Amino acid sequence: MTGISLLLLCISVFALGEFLFGSWLWLKRRRIKHLRRAERTRTQFAHARNKLMSVLEAEKISVKSRTFQSLYGLQTFIMRSPNEYRQISAMLRRSLFREPGPPQIDTAFSDESLKWSPETTEVVRDTASAMIYLMVDYSFRIRIVGWLRYRLRFIHRLNGLLKGLQDWVAARRAQKDEIIASFRESRESMEKLCSV
């Protein structure tokens, strides 16, 4: 009895050790994934901010303009808040998918947008792209929808391929049926000739 209980104790200790080690690895992997996402997000906003600074150096935008202040403030805030990316992403999703109401337009920003240089427009696009990335990358639901859309697109392509293959097989079968029919006709005509 002591041998079996010692064996069970050893197995239990081993299983507990494996469970604890697996849990530690899972937490470590999750932390590394968070750091990788945060660094990617910061890199995108840093790239947009560097472009903004080069547009400023080229004097295509003024430091006092509403556009510069908005973009620089937004990019800096997001780059300095990596622990709040999940909350920022949720806020962006809520503001994007909320009930449409009367638009709240900042007239100074709107007036400036008519005079933007192509470089400024590119910086705005890069910032918007980084914000969309932030919103999607920190939302499990949106990532799942994207994954499903990709899978459905793959299935649709596979269906198209299978349909094309099915049409090709049907065409080949029709060709073979024609050849077989011509062989039958020639065999029947030869049988008629032989019987005469």
pTM above 0.85, yes or no: no
Check whether 47 has a pLDDT greater than 90.
Answer: yes
Q: Which domain holds residue 101?
A: 39-138
48-52, 138-142, 189-193, range with greatest mean pLDDT? 48-52
**Same-domain pairing of 47 and 125:** yes
- How far is CA 100 from its chain centroid? 26
Residue 136: how many CA atoms within 13 Å on its side-chain side? Answer: 12
What does the pLDDT look like over 86-118, one tens digit per residue?
A: 888 888 877 777 666 666 666 777 777 788 888
Residues 46, 69: Cα–Cα separation, whole Å: 16
**Same-domain pairing of 81 and 163:** no
Q: Which domain-ending residue is among 91, 108, 138?
A: 138
Cβ-Cβ contacts under 8 Å for 76 (sequence gap 6 or more): 49
What pLDDT was estimated at residue 155? Answer: 67
In 3D space, the residue among 128, 101, 133 whose CA is nearest the CA of residue 113 turns out to be 128
What does the pLDDT look like over 167-196, one tens digit per residue?
A: 777 788 888 888 888 878 877 877 777 776
